[in-house]
């Protein structure tokens, strides 16, 4: 049996449906999951165990048998903890069949089959009674249904159903309660992920369309490793506030609700962003606490737990609001079954109930067309200055300029510099509509013409019966996931050859693929084997992950924003392949092989890949590495692009005292022009 899966095709800039093996989705779910991350989260695991042991003790002290309901059991780890803590029986529910099958094997391997029943159903489908999934109701409810936003995985409806249908009249809950915290801040950096800023050109300022500035923005939360945000990147306008609590030992309602909190503004500023996180108390007394707070809230030298399955939240207010120091304000969290969002108002009286705000949804199209990183990239003034400088070198008053990139500001730069005619090619009607509004707002609708055709369909008539003398691009395309997917620009350039003058200038001139061997501080955990966890044998899980990582798709690089994930350079950055945009795409495969020497001690976890674009002979822009500290090897990464990460299947230990003294990583790379695909292999050598 075959299945069809969407994959980016750089030759067309589109997402194609590709026939894959029937186990494709299964392997991807396992390989890309956070199971390894959670198994390595020692802080989480220990807190859960202490909370479970305390709950079992409280039930036993009442003279009752301890019957556990574990919703979302995953590997079965929490159920095994419960039995070890003295629980009499556990019902472990897991809806994802491959994980449920794994849990059965793990439970059996650890000798708990007689006390743990794994149920492969959604918890709302579980039945109780003779012939049912559960013989009797439970009196201990253990769950790990949380995401970065706390409720985004449908925790509240699942709790509501379980408490009403699967639990006894009195039950213990682990965790016992959750608390959501928030802080209102002003942040130019974070706000640049949500709004397009005015663009200063030589002779005028480009203004964003009014509907873009008043748009509530994207409906989804922005989850991020706030620990990697410099505290100097934001100004607190409030103290850290408790927004609301959820007591899991009481009946929960999943109905929509609002949670207003009155506060006094700490300083003058522009209210733009809400930073938020949560913690969970595993026991009623709150002595066993697991917190998601960012690292800069921990005492100096205090160990900070790292986890990628739970991060922190950035929420954007619908509009920026000026606030004054000492001003009385009300920050309200609005919540439905799956989402949280915020509004800022004047305080309401006790008689007034807070008005429920509709869930924000993009009305302008920009937040649908551009992701957070793209907003940041468009607002990156230093990057824009490089493009402006490069365009001034190549454009003349007679230039016929065509831009090939999605939602790019380069046509505006080209027009301001004085090109005779400017055209821009948009790959979708949504992108076309967005750019039309931008041009119209700035009275440039007649000056910049939009061509909404694929490059191979463009005719001379589309270009005013002229030929292009300057083909430009960032390049950026909304379908791109990995750095080399933007090579669609190269394919477009090749398709447009008949519409270009013989001496047509192409910007960028070329793209170069770079690689760097690195040691991750923490990111390695998401792919690291874990044969034992808290004393339990989970090697089956290790084998499943390894098997999935051996699957074809999982052997390729995967995208990650490395500014969030600190790492050290163990090698020098190495240019491994160059794509010359002045020439058309070749017909034959392009192959390269070699090795990168590891010049610093450390544990080599993987290889980072990124593109650097040569705009002109002396101006380049990088989508990856910006700087390496000579002493420590700490890397600084471009924050508005994701880099490609290839995790090594076997690690190289070059730390002091290890058996390896000199080592390298061998690479083999093949670019398949017919597919637009980059296949790669990296192998550590000792």
Give the residue numbers annotated as catalytic, written as ranges: 144, 153
How many of the other CB atoms lie within 10 Å of CB of 381? Answer: 11
Q: How many whole angstroms from its chain centre is CA 371?
A: 10
Rounded to the nearest 5°, which phi and psi values hold at 579? -115, 115
CA gap 347, 260 in Å, rounded = 9
Question: Which of these, 664, 663, 502, 673, lies nearest to 580 by C-alpha position?
Answer: 673
Mind giving me the DSSP string for 319-340? EEEEE-TT-EEEEEEEE-SS-E
Place of tokens 């100096």: 300
Report whether 256 contacts 357 (CB < 8 A). no
Burial class (CB in 10 A: 0-12, 13-18, 19+), 379: buried
Burial class (CB in 10 A: 0-12, 13-18, 19+), 392: middle
Report whether 604 contacts 683 (CB < 8 A). no
CA gap 282, 288 in Å, rounded = 5
Beta-strand ranges (E) seen in 66-126 are 67-71, 89-93, 116-119
3-state secondary structure 433-472: HHHHHHHHHCCCCCCEEEECCCHHHCCHHHHCCCCEEEEE
Residues 6 or more apart whose CB falls under 8 angstroms from that of 169 comprise: none
Rounded to the nearest 5°, which phi and psi values hold at 454? -70, 150
Q: How many whole angstroms from its chain centre is CA 607?
A: 19
Question: Which of these, 196, 605, 233, lies nearest to 364 by C-alpha position?
Answer: 196
Six-digit token string for 273? 């962003």
Six-digit token string for 171? 């039950």
How many Cα atoms are found within 13 Å in the side-chain-facing hemisphere of 35?
Answer: 31
Q: Residue 98: in which H helix or E strand, if any?
A: helix 97-109
């Amino acid at each position: 049996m075959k299945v069809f899966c969407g994959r980016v095709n750089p030759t067309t800039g589109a997402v194609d449906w590709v026939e894959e093996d029937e186990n494709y989705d299964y392997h991807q779910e396992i390989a890309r999951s956070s199971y390894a991350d959670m198994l390595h989260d020692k802080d989480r695991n220990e807190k859960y165990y202490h909370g479970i042991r305390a709950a079992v003790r409280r039930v036993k002290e009442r003279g009752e048998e301890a019957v556990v309901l574990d919703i979302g059991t995953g590997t079965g780890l929490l159920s095994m903890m419960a039995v070890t803590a003295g629980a009499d029986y556990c019902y472990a529910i897991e809806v994802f069949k491959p994980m449920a099958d794994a849990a059965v094997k793990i439970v059996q391997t650890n000798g708990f089959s007689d006390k743990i029943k794994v149920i492969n159903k959604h918890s709302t489908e579980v039945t109780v009674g003779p012939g049912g999934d559960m013989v009797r109701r439970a009196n201990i409810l253990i769950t790990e249904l949380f995401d970065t936003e706390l409720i985004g995985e449908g925790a509240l409806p699942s709790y509501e159903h379980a408490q009403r249908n699967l639990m006894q009249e009195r039950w213990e809950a682990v965790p016992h309660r959750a608390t959501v915290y928030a802080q209102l801040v002003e942040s130019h950096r974070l706000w640049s992920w949500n709004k397009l800023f005015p663009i200063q050109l030589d002779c005028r300022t480009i203004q964003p369309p009014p509907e873009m500035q008043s748009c509530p923005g994207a409906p989804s939360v922005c989850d991020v490793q706030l620990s990697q945000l410099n505290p100097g990147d934001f100004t607190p306008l409030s103290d850290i506030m408790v927004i609301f609590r959820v007591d899991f030992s009481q009946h929960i309602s999943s109905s929509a609700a609002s949670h207003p909190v009155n506060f006094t503004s700490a300083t003058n500023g522009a209210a733009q962003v809400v930073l938020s996180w949560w913690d969970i108390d595993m026991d009623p007394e709150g002595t066993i606490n697991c917190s998601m707070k960012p690292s800069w809230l921990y005492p100096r030298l205090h160990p900070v737990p790292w986890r990628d399955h739970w991060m922190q939240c950035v929420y954007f207010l619908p509009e920026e609001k000026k606030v004054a120091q000492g001003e009385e304000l009300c920050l309200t969290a609005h919540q439905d079954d799956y989402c949280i969002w915020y509004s800022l108002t004047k305080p309401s009286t006790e008689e007034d109930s807070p008005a429920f705000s509709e869930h924000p949804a993009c009305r302008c199209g920009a937040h649908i067309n551009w992701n957070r990183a793209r907003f940041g990239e468009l607002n990156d003034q230093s990057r824009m200055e490089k493009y402006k400088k490069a365009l001034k070198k190549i454009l003349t008053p007679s230039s016929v300029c065509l831009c090939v990139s999605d939602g790019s500001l380069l046509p505006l730069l080209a027009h301001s510099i004085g090109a005779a005619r400017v055209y821009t090619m948009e790959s979708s009607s949504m992108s076309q509509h967005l750019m039309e509004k931008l041009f119209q707002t700035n009275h440039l609708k007649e000056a910049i013409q939009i061509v909404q055709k694929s490059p191979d369909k463009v005719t001379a008539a589309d270009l005013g019966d002229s030929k292009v003398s300057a083909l430009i691009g960032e390049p950026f395309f909304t379908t791109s996931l990995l750095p080399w997917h933007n090579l669609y620009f190269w394919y477009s350039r090749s398709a447009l050859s008949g519409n270009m003058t013989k001496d047509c200038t192409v910007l960028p001139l070329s793209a170069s693929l770079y690689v760097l061997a690195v040691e991750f501080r923490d990111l390695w955990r998401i792919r690291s084997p874990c044969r034992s966890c808290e004393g339990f044998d989970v090697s089956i899980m290790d084998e499943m992950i390894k098997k999935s990582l051996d699957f074809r798709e999982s052997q390729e690089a995967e995208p990650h924003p490395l500014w969030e994930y600190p790492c050290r350079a163990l090698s020098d950055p190495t240019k491994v392949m160059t794509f010359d945009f002045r020439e058309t795409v070749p017909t034959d495969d392009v192959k390269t092989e070699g090795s990168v020497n590891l010049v610093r001690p450390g544990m080599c976890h993987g290889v980072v890949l990124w593109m650097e674009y040569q705009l002109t002979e002396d101006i380049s822009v990088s989508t990856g590495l910006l700087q390496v500290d000579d002493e420590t090897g700490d890397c600084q990464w471009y924050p508005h692009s994701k880099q490609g990460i290839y995790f090594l299947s076997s690690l190289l230990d070059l730390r002091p005292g290890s058996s390896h003294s000199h080592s390298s990583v061998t690479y083999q790379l093949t670019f398949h022009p017919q597919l637009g695909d980059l296949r790669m292999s990296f192998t550590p050598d000792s």
